[in-house]
Structure 1
Amino acid sequence: MTRTGAPPSRRGALRTEDDPVQTSTTTASPRLGERVMAAINRDPRTAPHGMRNDALLAGALAVVATALALLVNDGLRPDALGWTLLLAAHVPLVWRRRHPVPVLLVALACIAPYHALDNNHTAPIPATMVVLYTIAATGTVRRTLLTGTTVLGVTLIMNALTNPDGVVELLRISGWVVAVLFIGIDVRYYRQYVAAIVERAVRAERTREEEARRRVAEERLRIARDLHDLLAHSITLIGVQTSVAAHVLAADPERLDRETVAKALDDIAETCRTARGEVRTTLEVLREHGSPDARGALPGLDGLRDLVETARLAGARVEQTVRIRHAPPAVGAAAYRIVQEALTNAVRHAGPEPSVRVDLRERDGALHLTVTDDGTGARDAARPGFGLVGMRERARSVGGTLVAGPRAQGGFEVAAVLPMDVMEGTR
C-alpha cells in the first residue's frame, strides 16, 4: 500500500505556533480518508503486505475470541482441548486472501469439534465471519452461494446435535452468515464498478494523448510539406535566374547587357521577398498561442497565375487552362501546392525552356489537374524525392489521388483528382 501520510513526528513539525491543532487536523484527516477509501476500493488480493496484515488480523481476532470465551456466558468455558481448537482455527487466517476456501475448510475442521464439545459458541464467530466475507469479496457469486449453503448446513447439523431446541439461535446465526455474504458480494461489485470507472478514465486519457500526438504529427507533416514546397520552388527559381545573370555576364563582357542582368537580379530579389513572406507566415502559425487549428491563410486557385508567371520568368513556356471558378479552400490549397511543385520540377529537370501545360477543370464533382511537359531532363520516378511524396500527400489530405511519371511520347506528367466535397478546414 502506498504511503500517503507522514509519520506523526514529521506532521508535528508542520504545526505553527499560531494554530497547532488546526494544522495537524487538516493535514491528517484527508490523508486518513484517502487511505481508507483506497483500502476499500482495492482488490485485497493485490494489496501490498497482505500476509503481514492478515497475520496481525489473525492475532487480533484470536485476542477477541479469547475475551469472548472468558467473558460471555455461552456454553462451557473451553478446556485445554477447546483452547487449542479455538486458537488453531485462527492460524489459517494468515492465508485468507490467497486461499480463502481452503482457509475456511481448515477453520471449520477446528471449529466443528470445538462446538461439538459444547464450548463457548460465541468466541469463533468473528473469525468465521471474516473468512466468509473474504470468500464473498474475492470470488464468484456461485462460489459464494455454495460456501454459504455449506456453512449453513454444517451450522444446522451442529446446532441439532448440541442445542436441538435453539431455533432462535439458529436463525440468528443464519442471519449473520447471510448478511456477511451479501456485504462481501456488494463490496466485490463496488470494487468492480470503481475499477471499470478507472479503466474508462485511463482509456479516455490514452485516447486523448494519442489524438494529440496524431494531431502534432499531422501538423508537423503539413509544415514540412509547406516548407519543402516553398523553399524548393523559390530556391529553384533563384538558381535559374542566377544562372541567367551569370551567363549574360560571362557571354560577352565587353558588350554587357545591363538591362538583362538588372532584370534577372530584380527577379531574384522579388523571389526572395516572396519566399521570406511565406516563411514568416509559416513561422507565425508555429508560434500561434490561440486556437490549435489556426493555420493562416491558405493559398488557392487565384495564386496559380503568379506561379505560372514565375515559371515563365525562369525560362519555361507555360500554357494555362483553368475551367473552374471555385473550390473549397482545402482543395484549392492542395491544387496550388501540387502545381507549384510540378512547375518547380519542370524548371529544374525538364531541360532548357521546356514547354509546360497546366490544365484544371471540374468534372464529376472533382477537380481534375494535370501538369505536363515535353522536357528531356532526367527524372528518376522509381526513386522519388520529397517533391513527389509531398504531392501525393497533398492529394491524399483531401481524399484525392495523384499519379506522376514519364509520358510515352516524352516528358513528364502529374495528374491528380481531388474531390470537391472535402470538409472545410481540412488541409
Structure 2
Amino acid sequence: MAAINRDPRTAPHGTRNDVVLATALAVVAVCMALFTDPARRPDAAGWVLLLACYVPLVWRRRHPLLTLAAVALVVMPYHALGNNPFPPTPASYVALYTVAVTQRPLRTVLTGAAALCVAVTAMLTINTHQAIELLRTSGWIIATLFFGVDVRYYRQYVAGIVERAERAERTREEEARRRVAEERLRIARDLHDLLAHTITLIGVQTSVAAHVLAADPERLDRETIAKALDEIAETCRTARGELRTTLEVLRAAEHGEGRGPLPGLDGLPDLVEAARLAGARVEQSVRVRQAPPAVGAAAYRIVQEALTNAVRHAGREPAVQVELYERDGALRLSVTDDGTGPTPGGTPGFGLVGMRERARSVGGTLDAGPRAEGGFEVSAVLPLTTAVEGTR
C-alpha cells in the first residue's frame, strides 16, 4: 500500500528499484523466449533487441515519455524479425503504466492512442496477421492505461487527505502556541500588577521609616517607625497571599480547572486604603451598580496600576481622585493626581502598556498623559456588554 500511495517520482531509491525491476522482467522475458516454439525463438539480433527493450525502464521515473518511445523503437524491429511477440510485452506494459501514472489524463490518452496507431501501422507493413492480433489484444493496453490513471487519482486523493491532516495539525499547533502566548501575557500582567504595586508600597513605607531615623536620631519617633514597619509587614503578608492565590490559579489551569474568582470592583477600597497608607491623599467615587467579572477585573487592575504610578511618581502625599461611573453602556473610570507624572527620560516600564492591554482585552480603550492644569490622568472606557463577557 505504501508503494501504491507514494508518487513514484518521489519514492526513495527509485533508480535502484527500477534496475531491479528491469532485471527481473528481463529474466522473465528470457525464460518466455527459451520455453517456446524453437522455430520462433529469437536469433542473435532478436536476443539483443529483446534485452535492449528492458534497459530504458531504468529511467522510467525521470523520463516516462522518453522511456516509452525508446521501448517502442526497440520492440518494433524485434517484431519485424518475426520473433516471439510475447517476451517484450512486460516492458511495453510497464512503460505504458508509468506514463499513465505520472502524466495528466489527457496526455496519457493521447500518448496511448498515438502509440497504438503507430504500432498497428508499423505491424501492417510488417505482418498483417500480427497487426490484427495487436488490435485484438489492444484491450489490455487500454486497461493498463486506465489502471495507471486510476492509481494516479487515488494517489492524489491520499495526498489530499495527508495535506489536510497536516494543515489541521499545523492549525492546532498554531492555536496551541497562540494560547500559550496569551497565557504568558496574562501571567506577566498579573505578576506585574501584583509585584509593582506591592514593591512600590514597601519602598514608600521604607523611605518613611528611613526619613524618621535620619531626621533626628536623638529624638526617635518610635511610634511612627513601629507603624511604618507594621505597614511593611502587612503589605508583605498581603503580597504573599495574592502571590499564593495566583500560583494556585496557575496550577489549577494546568489541570484543566477554572481560573477561580477574579479581583473586581469590590476590591477597590483595599487599593485605596493601601495607597493612603503609602502617603497618598485618595478620594474615590464609585457609581457603578454591577459589572461583568472580566470588566471588573480589568478596572481593578487599571486602578491598581494608576495608584501605584501616582504613589511612585507624583511626589510626597499626592492628591489622587479615583472615579468610576456608568454611562452609555460602558464603565468609565479616571484616576487623576496633582503630581508631575513619570520622570522625563526615565527608563520606560510596562505599566501603561499593561493598562492598555487590560482595556483592549475587554474591548475598551485607555488614555493616559499629563493634564493641562497639571498632574497626570488615566482614563478608560470599558464596555458593559454581555458580548464582551462571553469572549472572556
Is residue 2:202 matched to residue 1:202?
no
Structure 1 gaps, min length 5: 1-36
Tell me the amino acid that sits aligned with residue 327 of structure 2. R
Matching of residues 64-143 of structure 1 within 5 Å? 64-73=28-37, 76-143=40-107
For residue 324 of structure 1, the aligned residue among 272, 288, 300 is 288
Alpha-carbon deviation of 1:318?
Answer: 1.3
Separation (CA, whole Å) in 1 of partners of 2:256 and 2:42: 77
User: Contact 2:124/2:131 (CA < 8 Å) preserved in 1?
Assistant: no
Deviates more, 1:44-53 or 1:282-291: 282-291
User: Contact 1:381/1:405 (CA < 8 Å) preserved in 2?
Assistant: no
Is residue 2:319 matched to residue 1:338?
no
* Match of residue 191 from structure 1: 155
CA offset digits 1:130-163 (Å, max 9, x no partner): 0111111111112111111012112322443455
Separation (CA, whole Å) in 2 of partners of 1:56 and 1:238: 81
Deviates more, 1:157-166 or 1:229-238: 157-166
Separation (CA, whole Å) in 2 of partners of 1:411 and 1:175: 94
Separation (CA, whole Å) in 1 of partners of 2:111 and 2:391: 62
Separation (CA, whole Å) in 2 of partners of 1:133 and 1:253: 102
Is residue 2:379 matched to residue 1:392?
no
Q: 1:339 to 1:289 in 2, by over 3 A?
A: closer
Q: 1:385 to 1:256 in 2, by over 3 A?
A: same
* Match of residue 338 from structure 2: 374
**What is the SS of the residue equivalent to 2:248?**
helix
**What is the SS of the residue equivalent to 2:41?**
coil
Separation (CA, whole Å) in 2 of partners of 1:222 and 1:72: 83
Q: 1:318 to 1:171 in 2, by over 3 A?
A: same
Separation (CA, whole Å) in 2 of partners of 1:91 and 1:299: 80
Tell me the amino acid that sits aligned with residue 176 of structure 1. W
Separation (CA, whole Å) in 2 of partners of 1:238 and 1:386: 19
* Match of residue 229 from structure 2: 265
Structure 2 gaps, min length 5: none
Separation (CA, whole Å) in 2 of partners of 1:146 and 1:75: 37
Alpha-carbon deviation of 1:230?
Answer: 0.7
* Match of residue 307 from structure 1: 271
Separation (CA, whole Å) in 2 of partners of 1:161 and 1:312: 112
* Match of residue 45 from structure 1: 9
Alpha-carbon deviation of 1:228?
Answer: 1.0
**What is the SS of the residue equivalent to 2:86?**
coil
Is residue 2:302 matched to residue 1:354?
no
Tell me the amino acid that sits aligned with residue 334 of structure 1. A
Tell me the amino acid that sits aligned with residue 159 of structure 2. A
User: Contact 1:367/1:417 (CA < 8 Å) preserved in 2?
Assistant: yes
Q: 1:284 to 1:238 in 2, by over 3 A?
A: same
Q: Tell me the TM-score normalized by structure 1.
A: 0.85
Q: 1:342 to 1:215 in 2, by over 3 A?
A: same
* Match of residue 411 from structure 1: 375
Separation (CA, whole Å) in 2 of partners of 1:384 and 1:403: 17
User: Contact 1:368/1:417 (CA < 8 Å) preserved in 2?
Assistant: yes
Separation (CA, whole Å) in 2 of partners of 1:319 and 1:352: 16
Is residue 2:204 matched to residue 1:240?
yes
For residue 21 of structure 2, the aligned residue among 57, 62, 79 is 57
User: Contact 1:401/1:418 (CA < 8 Å) preserved in 2?
Assistant: yes
Alpha-carbon deviation of 1:413?
Answer: 0.9
* Match of residue 115 from structure 2: 151
Q: 1:291 to 1:40 in 2, by over 3 A?
A: same
User: Contact 1:115/1:158 (CA < 8 Å) preserved in 2?
Assistant: no
User: Contact 2:338/2:375 (CA < 8 Å) preserved in 1?
Assistant: yes
Q: Tell me the TM-score normalized by structure 2.
A: 0.92
Separation (CA, whole Å) in 1 of partners of 2:347 and 2:283: 28
Deviates more, 1:226-235 or 1:198-207: 198-207
Alpha-carbon deviation of 1:340?
Answer: 0.2
Separation (CA, whole Å) in 2 of partners of 1:418 and 1:62: 81
Q: 1:370 to 1:74 in 2, by over 3 A?
A: farther
Is residue 2:128 matched to residue 1:164?
yes
Tell me the amino acid that sits aligned with residue 208 of structure 2. V
Alpha-carbon deviation of 1:403?
Answer: 1.5
User: Contact 2:341/2:370 (CA < 8 Å) preserved in 1?
Assistant: no
Is residue 2:189 matched to residue 1:230?
no
Separation (CA, whole Å) in 1 of partners of 2:374 and 2:38: 109
- Count of aligned positions: 391
RMSD of aligned residue pairs (Cα, Å): 2.3
- Residue identity (%): 73
Tell me the amino acid that sits aligned with residue 113 of structure 2. T
CA offset digits 1:227-266 (Å, max 9, x no partner): 1111111111112222223333444455544443333222
Separation (CA, whole Å) in 2 of partners of 1:96 and 1:199: 27
User: Contact 1:406/1:413 (CA < 8 Å) preserved in 2?
Assistant: yes
User: Contact 2:325/2:331 (CA < 8 Å) preserved in 1?
Assistant: yes
User: Contact 1:374/1:410 (CA < 8 Å) preserved in 2?
Assistant: yes
